[in-house]
Structure 1
Amino acid sequence: MQAEGRGPRRVTEATVHSREIVQAARLLEAGELVGLPTETVYGLAADAANPQAVAKIYAAKGRPANHPVIVHLHRDADPLRWAAELPDAARNLIAAFWPGPLTLVLPRRAGVAEACAGGQDTIALRCPDHPVAQAVLALFQGGQGGLAAPSANRFGRISPTTAAHVRAELGAAVALVLDGGPCAVGIESTIVDCTRLQAMDGLPRILRPGGVEAQAIAAVLGCTEQSLLALPDPHLDARLQPQRAGMAPGMAMHATDAAPEAPRVPGALASHYAPATPLRLLQADALDTAWPSAQRIGVLAPRSAPGANPQSRWLAMPADAQAYAQALYAALRELDAAGLKAIWAQTLPADAGWDAVRDRLQRAAADKR
């Protein structure tokens, strides 16, 4: 990091001065909230070891007290300050994917970060891959502190991927928002549970798809993708269960019999990442049939509109899964602010590369079917 006063540090499309990095670290050490850019989404950061500071996160977001938050660490920080143990599987995943969009759920050290745990004996840890986040973490408590940093938006709503999103949604509740430019990944991290290895055939389980694909995790662990899939929730609508390549919607995935209950993790509610405007998922043919007569409808589809309709808005999204993910939340916010009657999103391919994006759209539409 440049010395204070020596000019700006260039980060993606935004300029962050070193004095702002210093200011952010000091505000966080004083128990204040800071909007922090990461490669996934912008986080609402607070000192993870300060219960009063973490309580400000919950109040600002309107987040339920039993919903845990992820603790973000510097690349050189010791996870064992927070976790009671690091199984070999966790160490291998850290070596392969940190810094990066991967969160590990681990046994929590007794008495540590209780305010972040949502009443559980687990802790969720991540090392963000963004130069601004890493610069703040390097200064914060000498590089060994942890920052609780859930997405910087009201609970259950669309996650922010620019500094402007954070300011518009949370305003004066945040002492400072660092503008690190648009997020490169654009959706939240993959969450992997490493707390039940003995009960779950020695392998961790993916609890939320995200920026690291199951295929990459399986390659590191020397297992199949299928063996990493979490048990479906029997109380969850079958349409919201993750769908894999070659599997019909609602088809149950293999998992060990009598597996223990998974820990609660962020983004696992049936309805989440949702705009205020009702969102529906439509197959391409149904979308094309309804489009010519659509009134005040916004559309997300990985292709161009089949024809003109001045009464509605069609956003042509990227046909590539990673590029679609990066653009998704900004597109949802644009349509949500347009005064539309509804948003229609074209259903996405069932192959594994689209898992994370498909998960976000399914949850965004959960209460609007």
Structure 2
Amino acid sequence: METKVYQTDQLHEAAEKLKKGELVAFPTETVYGLGANALLPEAVKQVFAVKGRPSDNPLIVTVADFTMVQDYVDNFHPLTKKIVENYWPGPLTLIFTIKKNSLPSVVTGGLSTAAFRMPANKKTRELIKLAGVPLVGPSANTSGKPSPTTSEHVYHDLKGKIAGIVDDGAASIGLESTVLDLSDSNKAPVILRPGAITQEDLSKLLGVTVALDGHLIRENEAPKAPGMKYKHYAPDTKVLLVKNNDWEKAKVWVKENHLRAGVLAGPTISEKMRYDTACVFMYSKDTAESAAKGLFAGLRALDNKALNLDVILAEIYPEEGIGAAYMNRLKKSASQHYFTPEN
């Protein structure tokens, strides 16, 4: 199969592919999504096959406007209006209890709930309008690997497997959306996956304490939202998280064990380590925002087989604000493993 890269003036062509049940990747402000007609079970099944994604992992339904959501949900959480007015379109996914049999079970993972998102990317919202149907939109990559933040990442993973990719440059945020559970109207909202819209943001807006569910789903458990697995976003190369006061020890450990190590960090640590390691992927600034934007691109760059690395050493940030989302992804890419001299 030829995988075509669509530009702005070719959205009609891409939409026609989606209507017919073919797969087209699309840009968002978070990561690139793998689009399929959410109302065609056979098209959705192709998404699982192409990604190698477990079928118990529910898919996010991507919409162009809130009216689309109302086709599938009739019992909204009382805080829905305030949340939607403030954060849609944007990097926030909302989970609702849906009307019975309103969406194919392959989309929901057999659950009575479904996740919906309206991305900020105008090209993608226009694509959905042209297709006339909601799209499933998991990350457009091989399942479990670092998510794609450019069309080139998508092409690398899925070339020849999907009909096309709508190109709109690099994602501005770089981490998947916050997932907020609104499925129980009698309970306060709960964050199932942290993202750029933070726990602090939502609690302040809503005037209630929005909890962050820290439960990690293992391989034999069914998640309620994407990205909840214990191990996820992982490159083939081993990743170790390095605490701020352990970088000198890590440098010694690399030398003593004759390892080819890569470093994934901001400018300060990158400068300290660049002459003692095989290669460095440097975030643009020493901030959690820069780290979040560069994480997946960095993991992909350092996982290049040509580099032949033994290990990737990654910088950690405080788990507050977007740092919580960064650490959520980084910990899963490392299977929760921190550097110790015994590694």
* TM-score of the pair, normalised by structure 1: 0.82
Distance 1:235 1:85 in 2: 28
Question: 1:16 aligned to 2:13?
Answer: no
Q: How many residues align?
A: 322
Partner of 2:199: 214
Alignment match, 1:138: 129
Structure 2 equivalent of residue 284 of structure 1: 244
State which of 306, 309, 320 in structure 2 corresponds to 1:351: 320
| Contact 1:108–1:121 (CA under 8 A) maintained in structure 2 | yes
1:322 CA displacement: 1.9
Match of 1:314 in 2: 280
- In the alignment, structure 1 residue 180 sits paired with structure 2 residue 168: yes
Which residue identity does 1:50 align to in structure 2? L
Distance 1:166 1:15, change over 3 A: closer
Corresponding residue for residue 162 of structure 1: 150
Contact 1:287 1:346 survives alignment (8 Å): no
**Within 1, Cα distance between the matches of 2:198 and 2:216?**
24
Match for residue 323 of structure 1?
Answer: 290
8 Å CA contact retained: 1:291, 1:309: no
Shift of 1:231: 4.3
SS of the residue corresponding to residue 350 of structure 1 reads coil
Q: 2:309 aligns with which of 340, 360, 365?
A: 340
- Counterpart-to-counterpart distance in 2, 1:154 and 1:306: 33
Unaligned runs of 5+ in 1: 1-13, 237-260
**SS class of match (2:233):** coil
Are 2:10 and 1:25 aligned?
Answer: no
Q: Deviations over 1:269-319 (max 9, x none)?
A: 010011111101111222223225443101112223215526511223222
**CA shift for structure 1 position 367:** 6.6
Give the alignment partner of residue 124 of structure 1, picking from 115, 123, 147. Answer: 115
Aligned mates of 1:81, 1:342 — CA distance in 2: 48
**1:85 match:** 75
Shift >4 Å, 4+ stretches: none
Residue deviations 1:22-53, cap 9 Å, x none? 01110000000001111110001000011000
In the alignment, which residue of structure 2 is the partner of 1:194?
182
- 1:280 counterpart letter in structure 2: L
Task: String of CA shifts for 1:132-161, please: whole Å, max 9, x gaps.
Answer: 1112012111xxx21001000111111000
Query: Structure 1: how far apart are the matches of 2:272 and 2:53?
Result: 40
* CA spacing shift, 1:311–1:193, aligned 2, 3 Å: closer
Per-residue CA deviation, residues 310-333 of structure 1 (Å, 9 max, x unaligned), is 651122322222222111111111
Describe the SS at the equivalent of 1:173. coil
Is it true that 1:228 corresponds to 2:219 in the alignment?
Answer: no
Structure 2's unaligned 5+ residue stretches are 339-343
Query: Could you state the TM-score of these two structures normalised by the residue count of structure 2?
Result: 0.88
Matched-pair contact (CA < 8 Å) for 2:199–2:212: no
Deviation at 1:91, TM superposition (A): 1.9
What is the root-mean-square deviation in Å for CA atoms of aligned residues? 2.2
Give, as a single letter, the amino acid of the residue that structure 1 aligns with 2:247: L
SS in 2 for 1:306: helix
In 1: Cα distance, 2:248 partner to 2:280 partner? 11
Q: Which residue is 1:9 aligned to?
A: none
Equivalent-residue separation in structure 2 for 1:107 and 1:222 (angstroms): 23
CA distance in 2, matches of 1:60, 1:234: 25
Q: Deviations over 1:157-188 (max 9, x none)?
A: 11000111111101111101111100011100
Partner amino acid, structure 2, of 1:208 = R
- Contact 1:84 / 1:110 at 8 angstroms: preserved in 2? no
1:58 to 48, 53, 62: 48
Amino acid at match of 2:27: P
User: Quick one: distance in 2 between partners of 1:235 and 1:99?
Assistant: 28
Residues 171/307 of structure 1: CA separation in 2 closer, same or farther (3 Å cut): closer
Shift of 1:359: 0.5
